[in-house]
Chains A and B, each alone.
Chain A
Amino acid sequence: MTTYLVRRLFQMLIVTVLSAMLGYSLLYLAPGGPLLFLQQMQNTGQNRVTEEDIARIKARYELDLYLPVRFTRWLIGFPRGPVQIFGVYLLPPDTVVGCAIPGQVRLRYPDGTVEIVEEGCARPVTLADLEERRTSRGILFGDFGLSQQIARDRPVSDLLMSRLPYTLWLMGVSTLLAILIGVPVGIYSAVRQYSRFDYAMTTITFIGSSLPTLFMGVMAILIFSVLAKDAGLPYLPSGGAQAVRDYTIPWIGRVEAGSLLDRFLRFIMPVSVLTFFNIAGWSRFVRASMLEVLRQDYVRTARAKGVREQLVITKHALRNALIPFVTLLAGVLPTLVAGAAITESVFNWPGMGRLLVDSLGRSDYTVAMAILFISTVLVLIGYLISDILYTIVDPRIRLS
């Protein structure tokens, strides 16, 4: 078991680094970011932006470093400056790791036209320069760096922490509700297979899972917010996690902005949409698993012994049917934190999913990378937990 765990953790580390590399190269290829803004200023000619300004901004976001150096600094916070072991420089202070101001070469064509081409480097960045900079400890050690656009120069982790509670609440409650509703429905559907209840539930859950959350969310707002409000009926406020100013709802009365009631009313729709969407998965899974167990010999034996039907189902069948279910729970882990980008966007919910959408819309790639990185790590942890849970709930399986 220990060797297995060690090997798995090592593999996880490799996959994490690989996917971080993939994400980081994407980020590197992506234009935009803080420099785009500067270029726009330069083009419109409002302010004179000197080469020095550009070099300073570049240095702040490490854009002047070569890709491998940037990557290792971002991933593990290395190198922070010259590297020496026992007084001997492994990487001396004058090692060039980037270029602050690109060199310019004047090309004169035979027909007399002149073109200025960037070539070489007018002022290189060396390891000695890196010592003065604020250095991230590396994303592997939990330092996500600075946000470039959304919250300028504030740590990404602050931004993430401010969004995390909203996502945890939304995803936690909707997952819990989906399980609490889906599992009993699945069990009942399996016990009464092909009954009217089974057909009705199959159809409803099927429709729920077929509809995109986008459509369901928009329709929910349309019916319960817009149309209900227009008709003078009590309506559900939508947009954001809390109101900016007080409002009145018919029959309920005045709702204070930011009060518990206000938050609750705004919570109902996104949670219901996500729950409705997810119930199907859980109930179908439990139904299939239960149907399989109900055909097993030990269930027939139990019935033959004269065990009451209710006991057969709860004691013999259900316990075994829930074995695969437990392992599914680990798969929920990443979504709890990463959130639901679309539902959160539709309802303007200030969670992690919307943060990702916002960060992409405003080219704040450090934030986007942080979210991608966290979800990848959580997916990997989820896999590991589910594999371990397998051995716990089903002793026949051994990890090797």
Chain B
Amino acid sequence: MATTTSVAPETAERSQPRSEGQWAVVFRRFRRHRLAMISLAVLVIIFIASLLAPWIAPFPRDDIGLNRVALPPMSVDPTNGRLHILGTDHLGRDFFTRVIYAARVSLMVAISVTTLVAIIGSILGLLAGFFGGWTDTLISRVMEFVATIPDLPILLILSAIMIQNADLIVLPSWIIGPVAWIMAVPLREATQVTLLILVLASLGWVGVARLMRGMVLQVREMQYIESARALGGANAWILGKHVFPNAFPPLIVAFTLGLNAALVSEVAISFLGFGVQDPTPTWGNMMGFATSYMFNHPWMPLIPGLPIFLCSLAFNFVGDGLRDALDPRLKI
């Protein structure tokens, strides 16, 4: 055993021109998970469609028509003879148009919340794990406190209060402007969306911070950190160059699953009527309206429901695939 390990690396180094990098290995392993690959493709398609929303949407987003209320899918517009691929909603607005605009809002909310959460969470987790002492105590106590507050009630209360008074809360235009541009919504509607993002992010960072702290606590004791210190590296350099890259992989899985959690929370809050309000479409508030008309128009909830279903399942499969691909103990 001892002889093979001492000899093998050198010969391997020489015989192979260049061994594949860590990420190439991860990607090769990820590709084996067929469902995860399909899911990734589905997500990419939905994402691209949402980015192209203003160009591929056949109708204006909020075009109300009382002579074409609740048309079933594949029906023809009574006024101009154009086709409503997915039918129209309770106000006669084209469902296909609204679904892709909603994809833009829902997915972008999920992405921005998760990105914010990942940034805040990993910074706090890094600091708590690396420096220990009172920094750790302070951050850990705050994390415990946030964790004891039940998520859904506090999320509902926060968003109900914030969204119902969105006009009173003035956010700087350098936040609202980009949000409005990314979500393809008017400035006025962007305030609500931004508030929802902030609410979701303000409670979501604990999980990431805890994960990061745990990883950093492990990495901190590694010998390469000690040698980096011996080289006289500054804390910031050690943190950025050595600790973070090594504590990073589990964060990828957490990020994917976090995307799903954020998407589902947004959908749930908007469904209950405390999130983004009509006329800004999101899958959640579309679902809310569709359910109240489902007894007469049973196809209605399927239209926002299927994208929710697809994305949620796809995020989970991709997360599962990434977890397998990143787990060194697992042989695939």
Assess whether B271 is in contact with A342, with CB atoms less than 8 Å apart: yes
Instruction: Kindly state the interface size class of chain B when it binds its partner.
Output: 35 or more
Q: Which of A8-51 contact B (CB under 8 A)?
A: 15, 18-19, 22-23, 26, 29-32
A294 within 8 Å of B (CB atoms): no
A357 within 8 Å of B (CB atoms): yes
- Which chain B residue has the least Cβ–Cβ distance from A219? B305
Q: Is the interface of B mostly helix, strand, loop or mixed?
A: helix
Q: Mark A369-383, 1 if CB is under 8 A from B, else 0.
A: 001100110011001
B156 within 8 Å of A (CB atoms): yes
Q: Which of A206-246 contact B (CB under 8 A)?
A: 206-207, 209-212, 214-215, 218-219, 221-222, 226-227, 230
Assess whether B271 is in contact with A214, with CB atoms less than 8 Å apart: yes
Quote the shortest CB–CB distance from A111 to chain B (angstroms). 27
Quote the shortest CB–CB distance from A52 to chain B (angstroms). 28
Assess whether A379 is in contact with B158, with CB atoms less than 8 Å apart: no
B264 within 8 Å of A (CB atoms): yes
Assess whether B313 is in contact with A22, with CB atoms less than 8 Å apart: no
Assess whether B273 is in contact with A334, with CB atoms less than 8 Å apart: no
A356 within 8 Å of B (CB atoms): yes
Q: Mark A327-345, 1 if CB is under 8 A from B, else 0.
A: 0000000100010011001
25 A-B residue pairs with CB within 8 Å: A15-B144, A29-B161, A30-B165, A31-B168, A206-B316, A206-B320, A207-B313, A211-B312, A212-B264, A212-B267, A212-B308, A214-B267, A215-B308, A215-B309, A218-B291, A218-B301, A218-B305, A219-B305, A227-B298, A334-B150, A361-B274, A368-B153, A368-B157, A379-B150, A383-B148
Assess whether B152 is in contact with A210, with CB atoms less than 8 Å apart: no
- Which chain B residue has the least Cβ–Cβ distance from A378? B150
- Which chain A residue has the least Cβ–Cβ distance from B164? A32
In the bound complex, how far is the Cα of B302 from the Cα of A189, in angstroms?
Answer: 33
Assess whether B148 is in contact with A26, with CB atoms less than 8 Å apart: no
Quote the shortest CB–CB distance from B282 to chain A (angstroms). 13
A269 within 8 Å of B (CB atoms): no
Residue in B153, B272, B309 whose CB lies within 8 Å of A211: B309
Among A29, A218, A226, max chain B CB count under 10 A is at A218
Assess whether B148 is in contact with A226, with CB atoms less than 8 Å apart: no
In the bound complex, how far is the Cα of B294 from the Cα of A230, in angstroms?
Answer: 12
Q: Which of B172-221 contact A (CB under 8 A)?
A: none
Residue in A15, A210, A230, A345 whose CB lies within 8 Å of B312: A210
Q: Which of B284-299 contact A (CB under 8 A)?
A: 287, 290-291, 294-295, 298
In the bound complex, how far is the Cα of B267 from the Cα of A15, in angstroms?
Answer: 30
In the bound complex, how far is the Cα of B5 from the Cα of A97, in angstroms?
Answer: 78
A346 within 8 Å of B (CB atoms): yes
Residue in B145, B150, B260, B302 whose CB lies within 8 Å of A15: B145
In the bound complex, how far is the Cα of B143 from the Cα of A15, in angstroms?
Answer: 12
Query: Which residues on A sit within 8 Å (CB–CB) of B145?
Result: 15, 18-19
Assess whether B149 is in contact with A342, with CB atoms less than 8 Å apart: no
B171 within 8 Å of A (CB atoms): no
- Which chain A residue has the least Cβ–Cβ distance from B260? A210
Query: Which residues on A sit within 8 Å (CB–CB) of B152?
Result: 341-342
Residue in A31, A230, A346, A383 whose CB lies within 8 Å of B291: A346
Assess whether B153 is in contact with A371, with CB atoms less than 8 Å apart: yes
In the bound complex, how far is the Cα of B142 from the Cα of A22, in angstroms?
Answer: 13
Among A30, A206, A215, max chain B CB count under 10 A is at A215
Quote the shortest CB–CB distance from B141 to chain A (angstroms). 10
Quote the shortest CB–CB distance from B14 to chain A (angstroms). 38
- Which chain B residue has the least Cβ–Cβ distance from A352? B153
- Which chain A residue has the least Cβ–Cβ distance from B284? A214
Quote the shortest CB–CB distance from B87 to chain A (angstroms). 15
Query: Which residues on A sit within 8 Å (CB–CB) of B260?
Result: 210
In the bound complex, how far is the Cα of B288 from the Cα of A346, in angstroms?
Answer: 9
